[in-house]
Amino acid sequence: MVIDAHHHLPSEWEPYVEKLRKECERLGIDRVAVTALYGPPYASNDQLVEALSQHGDFLIGMGYVRLGEDSARTVDHLKAAGCRGIKFIWPLKNYDDDDFMPVYARCAMYGMPVLFHLGIVARGPRDRFLDVSMARMQAIHLDRIARHFPDLPIIGAHLGNPDYHVAGELARMLPNVYFDLTGSTLKKKPPEFIGEVFWWARNEQYGKMGHSLPPYQKILFGTDVDVELMEDVLSDYRRVMDALQMSEEDRAAIMGETAARLFGLTEE
């Protein structure tokens, strides 16, 4: 199974999903994890749930929780509505603030994977209204969360861009932390750089640490782009896997096996 673990659902979702299905069929992508956000141009949680009701065989729902406004009850509602995971972005405090721990505890209770936006974030007309701060979304904030909730599957977006080496060390030390390579990372960094971030793949002592998966299996395939650019991102992933001479086992894990396990799809 090939799974795109990071994709945004637009508010005009009906025609978009039809295009998405066709392109994924062409590219060999079986399932797509789509996130809701705050509203137009992105889908709201209600729109996401509606899309899931019609395309639940294809879409994996990642509901949006606004940290600092929403409570753990929002997680309850999203779980009951059929969402398999939760998306976090634009928190009103640092990700690891005490006030947010009840939300993470509820996600951990349900076994719902959580996708954190990390690092740089696109500018938008609502930045002031949303009180956007890159400083609150640094990769290092995942450390406390992962240690508090070791059973919570945590996916960090964009390999922490620009805190790549912090992200790599988090992946090495924390069994429940994974990263995708979406965003500008694979455009501005050569494949060898990814190998440097996951340096422990080249070290037998650290590469076989009993508390974690093999190094490259902490990476998830994701696109985080519109339909028209998905093939380009897929090519970037393949270029990295080829350059680093990854094993077939690692490639299969990156492209979907790990995501299938995190989202509970292997049990169906």
User: Can you list the domains of the chain with their CATH numbers?
Assistant: 3-267 (3.20.20.140)
Closest CA to 177 of 199, 157, 156: 156
For residue range 184-196, list pLDDT tens digits in order: 999 999 999 999 9
Q: Are 175 and 213 in contact (CB under 8 A)?
A: yes
- Does the pLDDT value for residue 201 go beyond 50? yes
> For the chain, where are the alpha helices, taking DSSP H only?
13-27, 45-55, 72-80, 101-110, 127-130, 142-148, 164-173, 185-188, 191-197, 204-207, 230-243, 248-252, 258-262
Q: Give the whole-angstrom CA distance, residue 131 versus residue 265.
A: 36
pLDDT of residue 210: 47
Q: Are 27 and 245 in contact (CB under 8 A)?
A: no
Question: Quick one: average pLDDT of 89-97?
Answer: 98
Report the range of poorest mean pLDDT among 17-21, 40-44, 70-74: 40-44
pTM: predicted TM-score of the whole model, two decimal places: 0.95
Q: How would residue 40 be classed by pLDDT, with cut points 50, 70 and 90?
A: confident
Which residue type, as a one-letter code, is found at position 144?
R
**Which distant-in-sequence residues (6+ apart) come within 8 Å of 79 by Cβ?**
110, 112
> What percent of the chain shows pLDDT beyond 70?
96
- Does the pLDDT value for residue 200 go beyond 60? yes
Question: Any idea which residue has 């137009």 for tokens?
Answer: 40
pLDDT of residue 267: 62
- Does the pLDDT value for residue 158 go beyond 50? yes
